[in-house]
Structure 1
Amino acid sequence: MDLDDEGRLLNVFWADARSRAAYEYFGDVVTFDTTYLTNRYGMPFAPFVGVNHHGQSILLGAGLLSNEDTETFVWLFRMCLDCMNGRAPKAMITDQDRAMKSAFAIVFPKTRHRYCLWHIMRKLPEKLGSHAQFNAGLKIDLQIAIYDSHTNNEFEESWGQVIAKYDLHGNKWLQSLYEERSFWVPAYLKSVFWAGMSTTQRSESMNAFFDGYVHSDTTLKEFVDQFNNALRKKVELETMADFNSNNQTIPCVSHFNIEKQFQRLYTNAKFKEVQRELLGLMCCNCSLVSTEGCILKYQVLDEISTDDHIKTLNFCVYYNEEEVEVKCTCALF
């Protein structure tokens, strides 16, 4: 607890034994969000949320804050770090809050920081909606530059073309986004494990989960009691998923030995993700395009269905025969 000079409560951080144990397993990637107001004092509820081996959102710790300035975030992050035996997350997703970013750099200097991509994209109509061509190409071209660029150079080139095509050189919001591109553009973040997350949606889904237990008139004492009830429900859901994974075998959809290996090792939820990828192989066309020493380069064409058409994606896969190592431009493997 953080108290002021007169002994009044300013900020609180807590994590129970279950959350601390979960952090040992699933604390590599954490999302952090403060958009949820929980009590009559207007103190933002600030959950640290991760994802477990079933793909479920799990609470790793939480705070109630009296302020959202750098000093407060520094205090909260340090309390979290102390609680987790000094082990910082490898990667963390937040919104673009400046005070949060400053505190992050102070407390987690070696943790890879990422901005919530959904929050950024949601601002497009507000910031660029007045442009005459926003719905006549600008919005789509920006999305293509952001989502379809596999390398930093590809993004730089596509972004530059969009800025020139729509005469956006003087747009300060786009300029500020470009200056911080390493914090949010997917191409710049591929080398880091993100547990399948690019947004703080996990935090927001956790907020929605707590809606069934707390509301704006909940007192602090009631909040703690209800918080424990909510956590108990989360534990029940994970225990049920563990039981199902241990006692139910999902049949394989192919004859690939690699699928059988994942069937033995993965939880049912994660194994289903593998099966979706295997089924997606049916749409891939692979061809050898060059050989340099022990490095073989393959081109892989993948067709995916969007709302209104079929889109073809082009990936390069490199196979090192000597090291028996595979690398792909998607960087997901």
Structure 2
Amino acid sequence: MKIAIVGATGLVGTTFLKVLEERDLGITELYLFASAKSAGKKIEFKGREYIVKELTEKSFDLEIDIALFSAGGDISKKYAPIAAEKGILVIDNSSAWRMDEKVPLVVPEVNKEVAFKHMGIIANPNCSTIQCMLPLKVLSEKYGLKRVIYSTYQAVSGTGHKGIEDLQNGLKGLKAKTYPHDIVNNCLPHIDSFLDNGYTKEEMKMINETKKILGLPNLPVTATCVRVPVINSHSVSITAELENDFDIDEIKKDFAAFEGIILIDEPQKNMYPLAADATGQDKVLVGRVRRDFSKEKSINLWVVADNIRKGAATNAVQIAELFKNTEKF
């Protein structure tokens, strides 16, 4: 398989390479693209040195099967259609195409079947959305979803290298450059820009993407997204109101049996999902599973995942893997 990475020097782009090294995608050719500023950089992959090339409209004249994009929405809007017109399957990590009706929005463990309905572009969901889809898929299929409430605790790596630098510099007493306030010893209820409805773009991404991925366009969903002083891995508190009643122990068994989920739920032993434990792995950690006594047929859970791996790079590579043994994309 001939693979291209657009945005190869960014935080997600370099993680694409790590994940591809770990997984057997059968890569025969690898092309790395980035901005003019990053062109010429050398990157090692599986013992071979590759030179990063500047992304241009002619970049996709090469023989490429799949292009993994993580270079921002503007780049994706401009170059993804160019690649798709050349017969290249684009898997895009930006928000540019997620809510396009013609573009599948895919979490492989949840809705891989829609990936094959693509028209040249497949969208990778928002990082905080991806991890929530696995346990919500379990609840939706077996009990029915009536309403979902998200409260997120999102790591600074979600803002890329600049977010990590703000946290590290803040610990040295330096002022924030990327965030509107210092992130050290702080929680910022502000991810992406604010909209006229009072929500942020990040919150609306979670709301709208949840409905699309689960195929529940009328599902009531609300979200509050918060940036916290943690380097990596997002944590999300989910409250879900279900259509049907449930047994907590049975739901825990369902979570534990679901592909991609690791259940960590022994609070008496101080065992529950932690950002530190999620970092570096591709599974979604689920715990603190308990009945919400304030509302009939409602459940609370705590969901943690590595936002750069499962929340971005790994999910995109998993989508690519769906096409590993297919002749046409």
TM bin, normalised by shorter chain, reads under 0.3
Q: Which is bigger in relative contact order (C-alpha 8 A, separation at least 6)? A: 2
Larger radius of gyration: 1
TM-score (norm 2): 0.26
Considering fraction of residues, name the structure with more helix: 1
TM-score (norm 1): 0.26
